[in-house]
Structure 1
Amino acid sequence: MADRSKAVEIEALLRELPTLTIGTTFNQFRDTGPDDLPDAPAIRLANLRDYLAERREADVVAVGEAAGYQGMRWSGIAFTSEFDLLRWGDPFRRSSRRPRPWKEPSGTIVHGILEELGAERRVILWNTVPIHPHLAGKPLSNRRPTREEIAAGRVLVERLIEIVQPRILLGVGRIACQALPEARYVRHPAQSGATAFRLGMRAALKSVR
């Protein structure tokens, strides 16, 4: 896909995100909570737009499970927390009022290995469900997305894959791989999976050099 056409398709995908209603998830690209800045949804969408623009030459897409309350819920970017945004600097911005930035353990591991391998801009991180599933009445929690939520999110993943045309598609964790049978499995870094994740990512990225 030509660069101009790819940019148009990416923008169309981004513009669709605030319109999504997927099950009982919180749409961080449209909705706000008590700790959000007034323009938080727009900040998060802008973060994702800038993130994808920096990775216009990416040849790997790595798909996780769903937006988490310590990471994408605030940053707009999969496996990425406000702590990461501060490390990256402009044009990325925090969207919360919290005195200390949110920091996601899994995201720290993911970006750590990407930076170690010099692959931060070679890989696009995404989630099967790109908005935040949480427990009822507990917005600062995570829950496993339902089958219906995964199916709805898969449609967006497939659009991203069609646009990017990656050389390799990675499913980070079992849920992502069940949703995307064509993806190469990589262990999720959560729940003592950090070492296996690092080994899996290193092997996957080396396989397409």
Structure 2
Amino acid sequence: MTPKSFVSTLAATELPSVFNPWRDRCTVHDRSDAAARRRDNLEMLLTAALDHRVETIWIARDLGYRGGRRTGVPLTDEIHLGHAGTLMGGIAFERATQGPAVAERTAAIVWRVLERIGQPVMLWNVFPFHPHEADDPMSNRCHTRSEREATWPILQALVSMIRPRQIVAIGRDAHLALDGLDIPTTAVRHPSYGGQREFIEGMFSLYGVADDNDEPLELPLGAPHAAARRCALA
């Protein structure tokens, strides 16, 4: 599978109470061509990952409404699109939304660590879309087992395309859900809900980066990202 065919497969998927950023358009925040911009962003990310022969995929649980739902780049909010483009070799990612750029707590911490590590990685989620409550499209919820099973071939296709040597599961839920993959998986604490320091220390340890133990990261205001909430996914 090529980056283009992979993105096309993603864009063809439709599930209830799920926002597919590479297919759907938010009538409140998105530009008219938002889904196409996000498809372009992801295709460029995948192409760069193959060009750089990345050896690791970092996988969290679901897309959040403040991050990948808006950008089309997993674990990346609009504040860090430029950082992502630089790390992946100078990609010019485009914003798909209108108004001020929106920050996400998890993305802020992930990109703090990636900038220190200085190595390109592929970022993904067990469930590649944004699951939300039926009456609240801007909420986060845990994906269900049936939703994960419906999209599992997408994850398998990504792994087959990237061929990583290692997968890093971000959070307990992601680690449990990835049990079926035939690739070594290392778990680190999710950075939300008090896990920031453990996440940073775990990643620095994996990559042999000295922890400078500097001042705590200034996080965007608002409710914590709901991706750390534990769910019955097994």
Q: Please, what TM-score do these two structures have when normalized by structure 1?
A: 0.88
Structural mapping, 1:4-43, within 5 Å: 8-34=1-27, 35-43=29-37
Q: Gaps spanning 5+ residues in structure 2: where?
A: 210-234
Q: Are the aligned partners of 1:154 and 1:179 in contact in 2 as well (CA < 8 Å)?
A: no
Q: Are the aligned partners of 1:23 and 1:149 in contact in 2 as well (CA < 8 Å)?
A: no
Deviation at 1:86, TM superposition (A): 4.2
Deviation at 1:79, TM superposition (A): 0.6
CA RMSD of aligned residues (A): 1.8
Deviation at 1:206, TM superposition (A): 3.9
Q: Which amino acid aligns with 1:109?
A: I
What is aligned with 2:131?
133
Q: Distance in 2 between matches of 1:68 and 1:185?
A: 20
What is aligned with 1:192?
194
Q: Which amino acid aligns with 2:15?
A: I
What is aligned with 1:156?
154
Q: Distance in 2 between matches of 1:91 and 1:175?
A: 32
Structure 2 CA distance for partners of 1:126 and 1:167, relative to 1, 3 Å: same
Q: Which amino acid aligns with 2:60?
A: G
Structure 2 CA distance for partners of 1:153 and 1:171, relative to 1, 3 Å: farther
The alignment-based identity, stated in percent, is: 31
Instruction: Compare 83-92 and 157-166 and name the one that shifted more.
Output: 83-92
Secondary structure class of the residue paired with 1:142: coil
What is aligned with 1:110?
110
Runs (4+) off by over 3 Å: 86-90
Cα deviation code 1:114-163 (max 9, x no counterpart): 110112x1x10001111110112211111111111122233211111111
Secondary structure class of the residue paired with 1:128: strand
Q: Distance in 1 between matches of 2:16 and 2:200?
A: 32
Alignment coverage as a number of residue pairs:
197
Deviation at 1:14, TM superposition (A): 1.2
Q: Distance in 1 between matches of 2:20 and 2:31?
A: 15
Q: Distance in 1 between matches of 2:4 and 2:33?
A: 19
Instruction: Compare 176-185 and 54-63 and name the one that shifted more.
Output: 176-185
